[in-house]
Amino acid sequence: MRTSCARRASFVQLMLKAAEPLALKSPAQGAATQCYVAVHPGMQSTGRYFSHCNLAEPSALGSDPALARKLWETTERIVAGL
The residues that bridge with 50 in the sheet, in sequence order, are 55
Closest-CA residue to 37 (of 24, 28, 50)? 50
Give the pLDDT confidence score for residue 35 in this predicted structure: 92
- In the chain, domain spans: 26-80
pLDDT at residue 72 above 90?
yes
Neighbours of 32 (CB within 10 A): 14
Give the pLDDT confidence score for residue 1 in this predicted structure: 46
Contact 37, 43 (CB under 8 A): yes
Distance CA 76, CA 62 (A): 19
Could you give the angle at the alpha carbon of 34 between the alpha carbons of 32 and 36, nearest 5°? 65
List, for residues 4-61, the tens digit of each pLDDT value. Answer: 655 667 877 777 777 777 777 888 988 999 998 888 887 767 778 899 989 899 999 9
